[in-house]
Every structure is written in structure tokens, then in C-alpha cells.
Chains A and B, each alone.
Chain A
Amino acid sequence: MSTMPTSDSPFDRALFVTGAWLLALVWILPLAWAIWAAIHPAQFVTRFDPLAPLTTQNFIDAWNAAPFGRYLLNTVMLVTMILSAQLLLCIHAAFAFARLEFPFKNLLFALVLMQLMITPDILLVRNYATVAQLGLLDTILAIGLPYFASAFAIFLLRQTFKTIPKELDEAARIEGVTLLGLIWRVYVPLAKPTILAFALVSVSNHWNNFVWPLIVTSSVNTRPLTVGLSIFATTDSGIEWSIITAATLITSGPLLIGFLLFQRQFVQSFMRAGIK
């Protein structure tokens, strides 16, 4: 990595390291406290006694107090459906923009890019009306539908496809490979890192999405975790903080564990996906 300038005094260095650690501790504090409160009995919510007994009761209580199992299932179905649909639609669209010549190509691409500015969740009133007209209110499909055609995915994949040498196209065509064969057997495998990057970003975005799912869902069988948690945490003020933190960790848990296990891929994916 980089070498430090020699003009650093030990005092400066100490200040630098202290600053870094202070900031990190402040940043991790909310999560650290949530974990503390969730694994200890309620009376230790603000008493930081290192000898406090550990418990899993808060998680059991939270799990039984609301249908989190169902919410979790809904969220998993939701993010899987969105990602599959996004990849299916956007890989094809991106290939067309990257490799084919057709009229109004630039205009159409500009229309696609507009969605980067005006995202579907800004237009919630109108999109709610559309979903209602389609008779899809309170379905998991309705939560995902506006996000299927992702401008971001099309843009990202188009950039990647453009870097693939055109000679491969010709070689494949001489071999008698069809257009779809070319896309799925040549382009998709070569774009794997981009697809993985997009997948991680998409899954974490839609796992965490809240306002749109809140609007279109109204029953236990469709609500994702985020909506379920917000209803659980705001309906009754009588719920113990230790149980709310346990519920919060249940909601974020799978994604957080995934992140801890694949930290490097996560950071690199977000980086790759954000660099335009």
C-alpha cells in the first residue's frame, strides 16, 4: 500500500489513529448496543454489566410475538423474484444496446437512463393506481414489478458487454451459435463479476426497501420483513426494548451475516456498481 510521508511526527500519528478508532466506535455503537440488549435480560438494557447473564429468550419472544418466519419467507421470495426478473430482462436489453444497431438507439437509451433520476418509488401514488388497476394489490409480485426493468442493471451490463471483444461474436456465429446462445454462453459468463456485483446491490436494496412495500401490502402473507418489523415496533409501546432489538436483528440478520462472510465481495460489488 501507500507509504506515509516522512514528515509525520509520532504525535500526529497517534492523533490520526485515535480519530480513526473514535469514529469507528461511534459508528458501530448502535449495532453493538442492539446486540447487547438483544442477548441480555430486559433489566440490562442500559446497565452494562460484563457479568450480566446471556439469554436467547428475547429472540424467542420476538419470533413468537409476530409472524417473522412468514415475513422472512416473503422477503426471500421477493428479492429472489426481483433479481431473477431483473437479470432476465436487463441482460437481453443490455446486449441489444451494447451490440446491435437499430433506429432510435440513443433516444431509447436516454429514456432508460432517465430512470436513474426518476425512480419508481418517487411516483408511488401513480404506481399504486397502476398496480390496483392490474388487480395486484397485496401481492409480492406488486412489490417487485416496478423494479424489474432496472435502468441501473441495463447500464451496468451494457458497459461490461462493450468491453468484450467483438471477435468472439464472429467466432460464435461461424460456429452456428444463435443470438440467445451467444448472449447466455459467451457474454453472461464473461460478465460474471458485474452480474455478481449487481446481484449483491439488488438483494441488499430490496431486502431493505420499505416505503413501496408498506403501501402495496396489507396482509401477513405478503409483507416483507421491513414492513413487518415497523408494524411490530410501532403498534404497541408496551413491548420491551430488548425484544424490539431482537426483532431488529432478526430483520437485518441474514443480510448482516452474509455481509460479514463475504465482506470483500460486498465492498467491491458496491464499488463496482457505483462507479459509472
Chain B
Amino acid sequence: MRRDWLHAALLLAPALVLLVSFTHWPAIQTVIDSLWSTPRGRRPSVFVGLANYERLMADPTFRRVMWNNTIYAALTIPASIALALAMALYVQGRIIGRGFLRLAYFTPTVLPLIAVANIWVFFFLPGFGMFEQLRQWVGLSPRNWLGDQSTALYGVTIVTIWAQAGFFMIFYLAALQTIPVALREAAAIEGCPRFTFFRRVTWPLLMPTTLFLSVNATINAFRTVDHLFVMTQGGPNHASNLLLYYIYETGFTFWDTAYAATLTVVMVVILVVVGLGQFFLMDRRVHYK
């Protein structure tokens, strides 16, 4: 089948060249860059071994960013998934205003995160925004949600959950449609309470979807930083800084490309571990068609 080989090479070449140039090669190059120093002015880049990694270990901002990212992941993953499941259960059957409910849940998904971040900034404004109006209503003093070190991270976390829950909902909706109606009817005849049916039948059958969404939500927890640019710029004092935003700052605000490469290596390792986890956790039987 030599002719097949030639055809395959011709069909694949353009895509593979671009793929390697913007994914594989830069990934390898990033590892190499992390072993060299950042060129500054007339001082060229020199090989520094693991010096950048030593700096990483001693960098309190890096520690802070990793901790923030852990909290961010630990909150956004379960909250988005739980809300997505609730949304799917709400709109899967007959309910008043089903079309509107679906629309309301899903709309944040199609809006640019950077644009809706502007709206959310307003909601969080001290003494002026929506939350503040509620607080004033119950007699609490104004609070600068995004400017306060103890709350800024939660502000951006809420926006992420809001933005992705509706997207996750549609996967649960698709999975719920594959659960045979006969099961539900049988349970109804037996007088099985709704919650028991959910816990014993629906939830286990949704497990593959839940796993799939967990992996997606984990990757998103490291990749979704657009709203930081508008809401907090990672501040105050790195209180809401996340890994990808820190990479951006290091690389394009301080132009410290070697250290940015070192941070990128950490990011790549995290994503590869998540990816491999997905591969081993979910084999074929866990996927639905």
C-alpha cells in the first residue's frame, strides 16, 4: 500500500507541521528555555541548569499562586458540576417555562468571559453593586469585594462557576436522555421516592459524565483566567493570582521569559498528569457514544 502512504503523507503534512510548530516544539523548547537565563540588554542568555527551578521553590508568589489555583479548582470543579446536574434535572422533564430556564442556564456559555467580567465588576462594586445593595438592605456596611485580599479570589471563582455550569449542563442532559424511561416507570410503580431513585439509579448511570466533566473542569481551572484581566489583575497583592495569569505577567509584563518558561513547565506537567489521569480513569466503557 505504498500509494496509501504517499496519500497519507500529503494529507497529513500541513496539519502536522502546524501542530508540531505550535504545540510539540514549543513544549520542548519551553523545557530548554527553563534551563537558561533570560537575556537582558547586552547580556546574552546563559545556561543556568536548575537555577530557575530553585528560584521557583523559593518564590513566595509562586507558592501563593499554586495555593490560589488549588482553592480555585477545589471550589469551581464541584460547584460547577453540582449546579450543572441540578440544572439538567430541572429542565429534563416537563416544567413551567422550560425553554426560558434552559436559555437562562446556557447563555453565559456563549458570552465572552472578558465581556461578562465587566458586568460582574459592577456587581461587586463597593457600596454600589448588586451584592452591596443586598447588604445595605440588611444593614451591613459596604465592602470592596474585589479589592479585599480575603475575598478577591472568591469573586473570580463565582464568575467561573457562573460561566461554565450551563455548559456542563448539556452533557448531563445528553446523558439523562440515555437512561431508559422503563427504569423510571418501574420505580414509579414500586413507589420508589424520587431521591432514592436518583441515588440508586440516576447518579450511578451518570458517573461517566461526571468523570468526564471533572477532567474538563480541572483543565478549565488552570486555563480560565480571562476575567482576571478585568476584575482583579491577580491582585490585591496576588490574592487572586492564578498560574496562567502569573505566567502572562512574568512573560509579558516583566519580560522574564526564562522564568515564565519555568512556570509554563509546571503548567504542562499539571495538564499532562490530568490528561493521563483521564486516560487511565476512563477507559472505553466509561465513554458514551
> Taking beta carbons and an 8 Å cutoff, which residues of A are in contact with B?
1-8, 12, 16-17, 19-21, 23-25, 27-31, 33-34, 37, 46, 89-90, 92-93, 95-97, 100-103, 105, 108, 111-112, 114-130, 145-146, 148-149, 151, 154, 179, 204, 207-208, 210-211, 214-215, 225-226, 229-230, 233-234, 241, 244-245, 247-248, 251-252, 255-256, 259-260, 263, 266-267, 270-271, 274-276
Contacts and interface: CB of A to CB of B under 8 A. Distances in A.
A27 B162 contact: yes
Nearest to B20: A111
Contact of A19 (B90, B110, B119): B90
A210 B226 contact: yes
Given A19-B90, A126-B29, A215-B252, A115 B19 contact: yes
Nearest to B116: A30
Interface string B96-126: 1100111111111111111110111011000
9 contacts: A23-B87, A24-B100, A93-B14, A120-B22, A123-B27, A127-B26, A146-B18, A211-B248, A276-B212
A230 B227 CA distance: 10
A20 B90 contact: yes
Interface of B: 1, 4-5, 7-9, 11-12, 14-24, 26-27, 29-30, 33, 83, 86-87, 90-97, 100-116, 118-120, 122-123, 128, 130, 133, 162, 165-167, 170-171, 173-174, 181, 184-185, 187-189, 191-194, 197, 212, 216, 219, 223, 225-226, 229-230, 244, 247-248, 251-252, 257, 260-261, 264, 267-268, 271-272, 274-275, 287-289
A211 B225 contact: yes
Contact of A124 (B104, B119, B120, B251): B251
Given A8-B194, A24-B100, A214 B93 contact: no
Contacts of A215: 248, 252
Nearest to A34: B119
A234 B9 CA distance: 48
Nearest 9 Cβ contacts at the A-B interface? A126-B26, A117-B275, A20-B90, A24-B104, A149-B18, A208-B112, A93-B15, A146-B22, A102-B8
A7 B194 CA distance: 7
B12 A96 contact: yes
B184 to A, nearest CB: 5
Contacts of B165: 27
Given A5-B194, A93-B11, A27 B108 contact: yes
A270 B167 contact: yes
A229 B170 CA distance: 29
A27 B119 contact: no
Given A123-B23, A241-B122, A46 B128 contact: yes
Given A20-B101, A230-B229, A7 B192 contact: yes
Given A5-B187, A108-B12, A114-B24, A119 B223 contact: yes
